[in-house]
Structure 1
Amino acid sequence: MTPFDFARDAWGHWVLVMPDGARHSPITALRAYPVSAPDTGVALMDADGHEVFWIESLSALAPALREQVLLALNEREFLPEILQLQEVSSFATPSTWRVMTDRGETQFMLKGEEDIRRLTGSVLLINDADGVQYMIRDMMSMDKHSRKLLDRFL
């Protein structure tokens, strides 16, 4: 028996059905640690922002259930990961960055150096002029050209 059922209803809302049959809808899935531990600590929240169910580890779920929870998480989260810096228009801000992300090539405007935040050792979070956040998961694993461009702003 699974600890719960999680699926969409006819209106496209996520519905959580507890083992005792209690139904909660709509449900939003939220990661507790989206950058440092994305596979642990997921809360299923009701429309009022109350936690209805806590998932300690996604890997502990059955594959079909894990897929549903990941789908709900991915619908809510939008945090493209920068894989490569291809070009920077200027080393002074504001500047336009052309990058390759895990979702494809894009460009964005960096308003100021303060829009680049170091979260942990080599993890960076970059806010563009439109409020979109990008993540660099491991600055040290990027190619030499990307690191050289990035170093000018750090």
Structure 2
Amino acid sequence: MTNLQLFYDPPGVLRLTVDNEKSYPKVAIYQSSPLRRPGQYLSLLDGKSEEIALVPSLDALTPESRRIAQQELARRYLTAKILALTSVRQEFGVTYWHVVTDKGERDFVVQNLSESCLWLSEAHLLIIDADSNRFEIVDRGALDSVSQHLLDSVL
């Protein structure tokens, strides 16, 4: 595999050097399947969103590049875990949620439930709001009965 070196220069701007020969001044990292295969099949894209390299696993990177890649992935795929639903209501096809997450109470809006709610298993649900924030119900059965009832009322 080629030698990939990820680094920040200036601070906060991700860059990439390939084989100490070619440098990319602006890079983004995406995963093909961030919830089912975390840390695998990473796509490194340049500033024009063209793929530079496909990395099979974080383990293929040097320790420093792996640390930076993990930071970038954590930022890109930030997901709040829903612990309880306080209220859910629908108006004209838009769903308004008030939930308690592992990061505190949150209000969010979902435009289209059929496109924005993805069942990852029979009990595991991913919800993407109108601002592309991700909310996760890891185990539907672990929710309290009020939360389960509210969830059932909209799904």
TM, length-normalised to structure 1: 0.75
8 Å CA contact 2:86–2:99 kept in 1: the answer is: yes
How many residue pairs get matched?
A: 150
Once residues 19 and 115 of structure 2 are traced to their aligned partners in structure 1, the CA distance between those partners, rounded to angstroms, is 45
Corresponding residue for residue 15 of structure 1: 15
Corresponding residue for residue 138 of structure 2: 138
Corresponding residue for residue 117 of structure 1: 117
8 Å CA contact 1:30–1:73 kept in 2: the answer is: yes
8 Å CA contact 1:96–1:108 kept in 2: the answer is: yes
Q: How far has the Cα of 1:57 moved from its partner? A: 1.0
Once residues 12 and 86 of structure 2 are traced to their aligned partners in structure 1, the CA distance between those partners, rounded to angstroms, is 40
Match for 1:57: what amino acid?
S
TM, length-normalised to structure 2: 0.75
Q: How far has the Cα of 1:116 moved from its partner? A: 4.9
Secondary structure class of the residue paired with 1:152: helix
Match for 2:86: what amino acid?
E
Once residues 72 and 96 of structure 2 are traced to their aligned partners in structure 1, the CA distance between those partners, rounded to angstroms, is 32
Corresponding residue for residue 61 of structure 1: 61
Q: How far has the Cα of 1:69 moved from its partner? A: 0.8
Once residues 78 and 115 of structure 2 are traced to their aligned partners in structure 1, the CA distance between those partners, rounded to angstroms, is 15
Give me the identity figure in percent: 22
Once residues 27 and 97 of structure 2 are traced to their aligned partners in structure 1, the CA distance between those partners, rounded to angstroms, is 36
Q: How far has the Cα of 1:140 moved from its partner? A: 3.4
Runs of 5+ consecutive residues of structure 1 not aligned to the other structure: none
- Runs of at least 4 residues off by over 4 Å: 92-95, 110-113
Corresponding residue for residue 148 of structure 1: 149
Deviations 1:76-110 (A, max 9, x none): x25433331241154x5455422223433211234
| CA RMSD across the alignment | 2.8
Moved more, 40-49 or 62-71: 62-71
Secondary structure class of the residue paired with 2:83: strand
